[in-house]
Structure 1
Amino acid sequence: MSIPTTHPFTFDPTYGMRLEELLAIEPPEEPGGFDAFWRARYQKALTVDPQPVLSRSELTHPDWHVLDLVYLSTEAFRIGGWLLLPRGGQVRRGIVVGHGYGGRDRPDFDMPVKETALIFPCCRGLSLSGHPPISENPSWHVLHDIDKKDSYIIGGCVEDIWLAVSTLAALYPWLSGHVGYSGISFGGGVGAMAIAYDPRIDRGHLALPSFGHQPLRLTLPSVGSAQGVQEYQAEHGNVLETLRFFDAATAARRIRVPMLTAVALFDPSVAPPCQFAVANSIPKFNEIFILDAGHFDYPGSAEQEAVLRDKVGQFFRVP
């Protein structure tokens, strides 16, 4: 292990916790009506016709056909992104690929998969799905309508993932039962909520998942979106009423498909206890991959990422 010992933060991004303590963290007490809340949202999302529009992208790559993509999500929200199709072989699997809270400006061309259609959606308010007055700054985006459970932005982002699955189903109906999800950080947390209620997703990879154990997330010093929520809570004091319904660890208890979850021992942006709360909550078929650090460069990071990348390739290998 090479957990960073020098860093610029005013707090300890390990929070003084060792691996055995992190592996013992359980999800928080869940609010009544959690399942009803999400099932209703999912059923509503299924009624939306995504009406995908594809066009040739200015981006090119030797291994992939690159297409610009626009589809409709709930509330007729226009979601922008990309579709990658393999230049060689058939399309036998689909994967929706989420992004971190920085959004994304291009697809990940190095996804270690073959014979797979990849959709890279930009969740509402971010990157190609920018939509003023929604802020693209993570510290503000995460607060958008946080005082209104039914219209909180994170719920809409989960629906954007479901509509990406619907888009794959519309374009390639033969992929039914072979659609996966892969997401990091913001995309990991949103992905846990999406996978928990969408039986069309047959496996998932979550890396450094955010939004886990919201009561803990409010108390552990962090940078980025978590800090924004903590500052809002300090001023308003009522944020947990909404956040308990958007807890990736609570959602993860419902996941019933094979999962590969990568979590870090040191992370200033997504506190490790919150990441582990998500990983520990997945009931079965879950491999937990331990990184020394997340959201931070450290010695040995390239080697660990290479091992994880190989695992991701095996995990999503076409049967």
Structure 2
Amino acid sequence: MPFPAPYDSWFPDAAFDGTYGFDEHALRRVPPVAPPTGLADTWRRWRAEARTVDAAPRTLSTTTVDGRSVSIVEHAGADGIRLRSWLVGPATEAARVGIVHSHGYGGRDAIDLARVPDDAAAIFPVARGLPTLNAGVGAPEPVEQHVLAGLGDPDRYVLGMCARDLWLAADTLLLLVGDLPLYYVGESFGGGIGALGIPWDDRFIGATLIVPSFGQYDERLAVPCLGSGEVVRAHVTEHPEAREQLRPFDASSTLGFAAIPVRVEAALWDQYVPPPGQFGVANAARDLELAVLPAGHAEYPGWDAVTADAVRHGRAHLARALRAAS
């Protein structure tokens, strides 16, 4: 079956259609998964437990990048495990906002300041288990093991732990830089983890979620993909009870509890994070700015311009959220 234009020419070697048969109209109608009974209480309990953990940050090294101080810091995760992050100071004399900036499932080997304004401080946490700073720490590194780690115990499932670790990363930023309103930026893995974690932390004034993962498992589990969702799909096929174990960790179920403005950049074609899952997350947001991308997890004609435009509008969303919170 031929792919819809322009994807037939953009991705001639693709093994399957990354639209999964959805056009934009259909994607905008994908419903979030209704939260199971007790979901909010569970996440609020985890948030309360995280407040009792001392982040106890420690600076390991500091250098200067483009006029900003950049440090590697060590701090506690939600269960007390020691994790490492990059901490970036503002380019101006004082920061007006703090950004918690997560990453994709490949981890992170360097900071990316594209979405960090000059008057922002930022922490770039690296999820437990993932490279480079936390490879194998607190979770196995290979994606096929990482995404399933602890699934049988909701208090220990790795995706929940990674989301709860974001709260400790935020603690670390505020302890080292000072009391600031917080904004979240996360892509793919980081987009989904953010949608799980930010609704329960009232220090955040806004968020940008880029091609977010872990949303709308009813759709994710129904189709193949090239990302971590394929590992989960295979596992649920062999262990049907795992579908229920995933319910507290559906980003489309949790994001609806966030009262803050949320920008979602969701793709029409994506073989790694199926678009129905991305739009399921977007459609859950109560205060949504939606940016529709031609494709995700792939480069295509005009990709540079689309990305630059997304970054520009993402910064504008942050600025509006900051003004609204002032």
TM-score (norm 2): 0.92
Structure 2 CA distance for aligned equivalents of residues 183 and 55 of structure 1: 24
* CA drift at 1:3: 4.7
1:70 aligns with 74
Post-superposition shift, 1:61? 1.5
Structure 1 segment 300-311 matched on structure 2, within 5 A: 300-311=302-313
CA distance in 1, matches of 2:37, 2:158: 21
2:293 paired residue number: 291
Deviation by residue 1:125-180 (Cα, 9 ceiling, x = unmatched): 112122368322222210111122221101110111011111122223431xx111
Q: How many pairs does the alignment contain?
A: 315
Residue 122, structure 1, aligned to residue 126, structure 2: yes
Q: What fraction of aligned residue pairs are identical, expressed as a percent?
A: 35
* 1:51 matched residue in structure 2: 56
How do 1:92-241 residues align onto structure 2 when only pairs under 5 Å count? 92-127=96-131, 128-131=133-136, 134-175=139-180, 178-241=181-244
Contact 1:113 1:316 in 2 (8 A): no
C-alpha contact 2:128 2:138 (8 A) present in aligned 1: no
What letter corresponds to residue 303 of structure 1 in structure 2?
A
Equivalent residues of 2:94, 2:119 under 8 A apart:
yes
Give the secondary structure class of the aligned counterpart of 2:79: helix
Please tell me the residue identity of whatever aligns with 1:304.
Answer: V
RMSD: 1.7
**Structure-1-length-normalised TM-score:** 0.94
The match for 2:252 is 249
Q: Which amino acid aligns with 2:121?
A: A
The one-letter code matched in structure 2 to 1:287 is E
The counterpart of 2:38, out of the listed 33, 48, 57, is: 33
CA apart distance, 1:258: 1.1
Q: Does 1:80 align with 2:84?
A: yes
Question: In 2, are the aligned partners of 1:67 and 1:83 still within 8 Å (CA)?
Answer: yes
Relative distance call for 1:3 and 1:199 in structure 2 (3 A) is: farther
Structure 1 residues 250-292: Cα deviation after superposition (integer angstroms, max 9, x where no partner): 11111111111100000001000000000011012x1100100
| Contact 2:128-2:137 within 8 A present in 1 as well | no
* Partners of 1:125 and 1:134 within 8 A in 2: yes
Deviates more, 1:180-189 or 1:29-38: 29-38
Which of 300, 310, 314 matches 2:316? Answer: 314
Q: In the TM superposition, what whole-angstrom CA distance separates every residue of 1:69-105 from its partner, at most 9, and x where no partner exists?
A: 1110122111111011124331111000010000001
Question: Aligned with 2:207: secondary structure?
Answer: strand
Runs of 4+ residues deviating >6 angstroms: none
Contact 2:81 / 2:138 at 8 angstroms: preserved in 1? no
Runs of 5+ unmatched residues, structure 2: none
Q: Which runs of 5+ in 1 are unaligned?
A: none
Measure, in 1, the Cα distance between the counterparts of 2:283 and 2:67: 36
